[in-house]
Amino acid sequence: MAAWLSYSAVGIRAFVQAHRRGLSSSLLVSLAGFGVAAFGIAPLAPDAAELPHRLITEAVMPSALEGQLEALALHAMSLSRSTIIRPSDTADTLMRRLGVSDPSAAAWLRHDATARRLVEGRTGKLVSATLNERGLLLRLVARYPSDESATNAPKQFNRLTLSRDADGSWQSSLETAPLVATPRLASGSIRSSLFAATDEAGIPDAVAVQMAEMFSTEIDFHRELRKGDSFSVVYEALTADGEPINWAQGSGRVLAAEFVNGGKSHQAVWFGEGKGKGGYFDFNGQSKQRSFLASPMEFSRVTSGFAMRFHPIQQKWKAHLGVDYGAPTGTPVRSVGAGVVSFAGRQNGYGNVVEVQHSGDRKTVFAHLSRIDVRVGQHIEQAQRLGAVGATGWATGPHLHFEFRVHGQHQDPLAIAKASETLTLDADQRPRFAQVALTMKSDLGLAETLSGQPGRVE
C-alpha cells in the first residue's frame, strides 16, 4: 500500500511537471468562474420587502381663520402710481391723474412755496405717489434735473418730497442727489439713418451723437452709411433713485461700440484714468482720437462737399474749396484741433470768420458765423467752442463754411482728419487696457443678440 502511494505521488509529480502551464491556465479559469458565480449570486443590497416598516402620524392644526382675517383687515394697504408733469398741469389736474382724492394734499401743493415747484418751472418731472386704500396721499416724490445740469451733461438731480406726518400735517423738502450710471446694452441695423436706427432700438440721441463722433475719422456718416450696416453699443444710462430719467441728456458716456459699415467692422472702447480723463481705443490699443476731428460740429448735415459745384450766388460752376454744413443759426462750432486763433473778425463774403493756426503750417477757417467766441492770439484746445452757425456774408441760409489749408493750399478736411496722427497706450497701461477690452468685447457680443429690442440693463 505504501509502495503504491509512493508510486502514485511520483507519478502525479511527474504529470504536474510535464503539464504545469496547462494546469495553471485551467486553475485560473476555474477560480474566475467561481468568482463570477459568487458575484452573481451575492445580493447587491438588502431586499426592501424584508426591511421593517413603521408608520408615523401627526396631527397638524392650522391657525385660526378668524385671526388671519383680522390681521389682514388691520394691514395697511397702499397703492403706488407714477406720471410725468405736463405743461398744462395744475395741482388739481395732477392729483386727479394720480388717482388722489385728498383736498388737503391739493391745498398744500397750491400754497406751500416748496411744494409749488412741482407744477411750476420745467415740465417732464418724474412723479411717484403712494396712496392708501381710501385714495389719500401718503407720500409724493418728484425727480428732475438740477439747475447745474441745465447746460451740461447732468451729474445730479433734484428730489422734491411731500410727506404726511402721523398727525396729518404736511412736510415739503427739496434736496440734490447724484445720478447713478448703469451700463446698458443695445444694438440695431441701419435702414435709413443712424438716428432712425437708434430710435428704433430705444437708444438716446446723445448716444448716437457719441457713436458718430467716435467713428468719424473712419466712417463718413454723411456719405458712406449704407442700408444693412449694423452696430452694437454699451453705454451708461443715468438713473435717479433707480428710475431711468427721461429728460434730454438722460445718458452718460458710451463705454464701447462696434459699427459694421460696408462689411468692415470698427470698434471703440473707452479707457480712462478716472475723473473723466481718457479716450477711445480700438481692441489693439490704438487711439481713436486723432490730431484733427472730422467735423467742426458734433453732428450735422453736409450740404456741399469738397468738389466742383454750381455756385448758388455767382451762378456758375467752380471748385468748392471747403465743406458746407447745414445747421440752424446758433448751433455751436468747435475747433477741430489745438492751435492759436490767427484771425477773428469779418472778411467780405465770408462774413464773420475765425481762423486757427495749427502745427505743421496747417490752418482751419470757419465762415458765416453768427457770433465769435474767441479772440486773436488765444490758445485753444481740440473741440473748444469758437462761435455759432449763422448766415453772415454771402450766404443763402444758415450754414458753416469750413476750410482746411496746408502750406496755404486747400485740402479735403475729411481726408486730413483720417490721415492725422493718432495716440498709443503706454506699455504699463496695456495690461489693464487688455482686461477692459476683453470685458467690453464680451458685452458687445451680448449686445448684438439684442438687435431690435430696447436697451437692456446689466
pLDDT tens across 204-263, in order? 888 888 898 888 778 878 778 889 999 999 998 888 888 777 665 557 789 999 999 999
Report yes or no on whether pTM surpasses 0.85: no
- 188 and 152 in a single domain? The answer is no
What pLDDT, on a 0 to 100 scale, did the predictor assign at position 48?
62
- 171 and 232 in a single domain? The answer is no
Range with top average pLDDT, 34-48, 72-86, 291-305: 72-86
Query: What confidence category does residue 389 fall into, taking pLDDT thresholds of 50, 70 and 90?
Result: very high
Query: What confidence category does residue 185 fall into, taking pLDDT thresholds of 50, 70 and 90?
Result: very high
Q: Region 64-92: what's the mean pLDDT?
A: 79
Query: What confidence category does residue 364 fall into, taking pLDDT thresholds of 50, 70 and 90?
Result: very high
- 351 and 286 in a single domain? The answer is no
Residue 443 has pLDDT above 50, yes or no: yes
What pLDDT, on a 0 to 100 scale, did the predictor assign at position 317?
42
Whether 281 maps to a domain, the answer reads yes
Query: What confidence category does residue 356 fall into, taking pLDDT thresholds of 50, 70 and 90?
Result: very high
- 414 and 322 in a single domain? The answer is yes
Q: Share the mean pLDDT of the chain.
A: 79
More confident residue, 206 or 22: 206
- 170 and 223 in a single domain? The answer is no
- 172 and 185 in a single domain? The answer is no
More confident residue, 371 or 219: 371
Domain limit, last residue, from 131, 160, 178: 178
Residue 437 has pLDDT above 70, yes or no: yes
**Which range, of 14-28, 31-45, 63-77, averages the lowest pLDDT?**
31-45
Whether 327 maps to a domain, the answer reads yes
Query: What confidence category does residue 427 fall into, taking pLDDT thresholds of 50, 70 and 90?
Result: confident
Domain limit, last residue, from 154, 178, 202: 178
What pLDDT, on a 0 to 100 scale, did the predictor assign at position 452?
52
Q: What confidence tens digit (pLDDT) does each residue in 307-332 have?
A: 444 445 545 444 557 888 888 899 89
CATH number of residue 370's parent domain: 2.70.70.10
Whether 64 maps to a domain, the answer reads no
Residue 53 has pLDDT above 80, yes or no: no
Whether 65 maps to a domain, the answer reads no
What pLDDT, on a 0 to 100 scale, did the predictor assign at position 299?
59
What pLDDT, on a 0 to 100 scale, did the predictor assign at position 311?
45
- 322 and 360 in a single domain? The answer is yes
Whether 425 maps to a domain, the answer reads no
Whether 29 maps to a domain, the answer reads no
Whether 204 maps to a domain, the answer reads yes
Domain count for the chain, please give it. Answer: 3
Range with top average pLDDT, 7-11, 21-25, 439-443: 439-443
Whether 350 maps to a domain, the answer reads yes
Query: What confidence category does residue 172 fall into, taking pLDDT thresholds of 50, 70 and 90?
Result: very high
- 147 and 216 in a single domain? The answer is no
Q: What HEC string does the chain produce?
A: CHHHHHHHHHHHHHHHHHCHHHHHHHHHHHHHHHHHHHHHHCCCCCCHHHCCCCCCCCCCCCCCHHHHHHHHHHCCCEEEEEEECCCCCCHHHHHHHCCCCCHHHHHHHHHCHHHHCCCCCCCCCEEEEEEECCCCEEEEEEEEECHHHCCCCCCEEEEEEEEECCCCCEEEEEEEEECEEEEEEEEEECCCCHHHHHHHCCCCHHHHHHHHHHCCCCCCCCCCCCCCCEEEEEEEEEEECCEECCCCCCEEEEEEEEEEECCEEEEEEEEEEECCEEEEECCCCEEEEECCCCCCCCCCEEEECCCEEECCCCCCEEECCCEEEECCCCCEEECCCCEEEEEEEECHHHCEEEEEEECCCEEEEEEEEEEECCCCCCEECCCCEEEEEECCCCCCCCEEEEEEEECCEEECHHHHHHHCCEEECCCCCHHHHHHHHHHHHHHHHHHHCCCCCCCEEC
Residue 453 has pLDDT above 90, yes or no: no
- 285 and 351 in a single domain? The answer is no
What pLDDT, on a 0 to 100 scale, did the predictor assign at position 387?
94
More confident residue, 265 or 2: 265
For a pLDDT cut of 90, what percent of the chain falls above it? 26
Query: What confidence category does residue 42 fall into, taking pLDDT thresholds of 50, 70 and 90?
Result: very low
Q: Region 53-62: what's the mean pLDDT?
A: 78
- 265 and 170 in a single domain? The answer is no
Residue 141 has pLDDT above 80, yes or no: yes
- 306 and 363 in a single domain? The answer is yes
CATH number of residue 82's parent domain: 3.10.450.350
Host domain of residue 261 = 181-291+433-457
More confident residue, 19 or 399: 399
What pLDDT, on a 0 to 100 scale, did the predictor assign at position 30?
46
Q: Region 376-381: what's the mean pLDDT?
A: 94
- 282 and 345 in a single domain? The answer is no
Q: Region 373-387: what's the mean pLDDT?
A: 93
